Amino acid sequence: MSQITQQKREKNQAELKKWKMQAAKPTTAHYLVILVVIVALVYIVDELTSNITSTVQSSVVNDFFVSKGVDFNTGLSNMSLMMMPAYVFYFILPFYKSLADKLGRKLFLVLNTLGMALGMFTIWISPNIYTYILGCLIIRFFIPNDMQVMYIMEAAPEQHRAKLCSVTKAFGYVGVSCIPVLRLVMMNNDAARWREIFIIPVIMGAAVSILCVIFVKESPVFLSQRIHYLEGELEPDGDTADKNKTQKSGVFYAIRFIFTHKQLRYIAICAFVFACSIAVTGFYESIMTTSGMDTAAVTRALFIFPLMNALFTLIGGFLTDRLGRKRSLAVLAVISMVMLALFILSAGQGWNAYLVGGCYGIFVGCFWSVSDLLFLIFPGESTPTELRASVLGTLSLILFAGSILSMLIVSLAMRFVTSLGLLCMAVSVPFILLSLLLVLFKVRETKGVNMETITGEEWE
């Protein structure tokens, strides 16, 4: 036996001992409740991080561009284009996320939560647009990983999987209602004080990451899969075919797996088309502002939108478990298109601010529920455990590619149009509709699959 082989064997033995010790630890009857609560807290941090920059977008543009004599639309376009390197940077994310198939889910749950806090801290102290962009880049590295979703998918009973995913995410959206409170208390209708709303989310992100370290255990599905793999590696006379199967993981094999399996291939195509509609979610505050709503009216709208977002996210989860993945996606996609049109109409026609926020909340709740189905639930339920994190991470490449295209179209076109809202609708609705049609005719239903025994061959 060579020195390299011996070193690898000793390393595998040490890792196997570590995972077996973790698997042997007793789990209390209430652990699932504890896990759901902590995952909900992680979701609150995630959604705060995802939404907080958008809620002060016009203030940032005014601070860094308009105050220096640049037109608002041009400044917003410049800032959006300055974010383009962040999308290129995202292409390393699948490699980062795929490490969770080898190093475990817990490590990345902690790192992602702490990383989001770091990004908000960088924005909080930003003295110029470049530091602000750096903070946004850090945020955009960590928020797409959604390790909390994988925890629920691998720990929850099959019949409650989508419901618990939606319940925890709904708590995150309710947490977003803290943002208008922060705007009201910290900004007090003074847009120049926009940095101050980041203080409390930074502290919360650090605190939740500590709770994850203390209370969250490694995913039982991951432990079972990893122990099985390591035992196969250490058994010289074991089933070679089984060992070869379990050894295959990582981004490049995940790409091959996606495009050689019909179900995942069509899911990837549908997900890319849908991602091309995503730019609208980054401009809702600017849509309201440029439609004539003042800072106080926007704040009122921001009070109601996360609550409606949470409600329809919750409804989406129950629909998904009750109706199945495909029919639920169809219902949610249609509602999202209708409510986007009503949001843009209501903002431009001077409707009550709470009604404007409600329209946007229903739209975005349904929109992100469709996104979760395409990027998390459909592929997660179509992929074997040893490849799940790698495949979901690889699909983030598709999300980023579609997002880049969507943002580039909107960012360049806004220089030549007066209505940002109509532009966003013209870009988003056709892609949402096309994605829906592709799902209905090309993707197979995944409701009821066993997460531990799925192989990906079931739909071939």
Residue entry with tokens 């979901």: 392
- Mean pLDDT of the 40-56 span: 87
Contact status, residue 280 vs residue 425, Cβ threshold 8 Å: yes
pLDDT at position 45 over 80: yes
- Report CA dihedral (389, 392, 395, 400) to the nearest 10 degrees: -90
pTM: 0.67
Least confident stretch, 234-238, 336-340, 400-404: 234-238
pLDDT of residue 245: 46
Q: Terminus-to-terminus CA distance in the chain, angstroms? A: 41
* Number of residues written out for the chain: 460
pLDDT at position 241 over 50: no
Top-confidence residue, 122 or 279: 122
Q: What's the one-letter identity of residue 384?
A: P
pLDDT digits 0-9 by tens, 374-395 = 988 889 888 887 788 788 878 8
- Mean pLDDT of the 264-282 span: 91
Burial of 116 (0-12, 13-18, 19+ CB in 10 A): buried
pLDDT digits 0-9 by tens, 246-270 = 446 667 788 888 888 889 999 999 9
Closest CA to 330 of 193, 241, 437: 437
pLDDT digits 0-9 by tens, 176-231 = 778 878 877 887 767 788 899 999 999 999 999 999 999 998 888 888 888 888 88
For a pLDDT cut of 90, what percent of the chain falls above it? 27
Distance (Å, whole) CA 117 – CA 143? 10
Distance (Å, whole) CA 53 – CA 64? 14
pLDDT of residue 286: 84
- Mean pLDDT of the 432-458 span: 85
Cβ neighbours of residue 161 under 8 Å, at least 6 residues apart?
Answer: 152, 153, 321, 377, 451
pLDDT at position 2 over 60: no
Highest mean predicted confidence (pLDDT) among 42-56, 74-88, 359-373: 359-373
- Mean pLDDT of the 94-123 span: 89
Distance (Å, whole) CA 51 – CA 64? 20
Q: To 5 degrees, how large is the angle CA 84–CA 388–CA 210?
A: 75
pLDDT at position 452 over 80: no
Distance (Å, whole) CA 432 – CA 422? 15
Cβ neighbours of residue 201 under 8 Å, at least 6 residues apart?
Answer: 45, 48, 49, 52, 117, 120, 182
Contact status, residue 288 vs residue 356, Cβ threshold 8 Å: yes
Compute the mean pLDDT over every residue in the chain, rounded to the nearest whole number: 85
List, in sequence order, the alpha helices (H) in 279-323. Answer: 284-290, 295-323
Closest CA to 288 of 280, 296, 298, 275: 298
- Mean pLDDT of the 424-437 span: 93
pLDDT of residue 87: 67
Distance (Å, whole) CA 305 – CA 29? 36
- Rounded CA Rg of the chain: 22
Phi-psi category of 378—alpha, beta or left, where left has phi over 0 and alpha has psi -120 to 50?
A: alpha
Distance (Å, whole) CA 459 – CA 436? 20
Distance (Å, whole) CA 38 – CA 168? 9
Least confident stretch, 4-13, 134-143, 294-303: 4-13
Residue entry with tokens 């959206």: 173
Top-confidence residue, 244 or 319: 319
pLDDT of residue 236: 66
pLDDT of residue 1: 46
User: What does the DSSP assignment read for 203-237?
Assistant: HHHHHHHHHHHHHPPPPHHHHHHHHHHHHHHH-TT
pLDDT at position 436 over 80: yes
- 386: tokens are 């040893």
Q: What's the one-letter identity of residue 86?
A: A
Least confident stretch, 265-269, 397-401, 405-409: 397-401
pLDDT of residue 4: 52
> Per-residue confidence at 237, pLDDT binned at 50, 70, 90?
low
- Mean pLDDT of the 2-25 span: 81
Question: Distance from CA of residue 249 to its chain's centroid?
Answer: 22
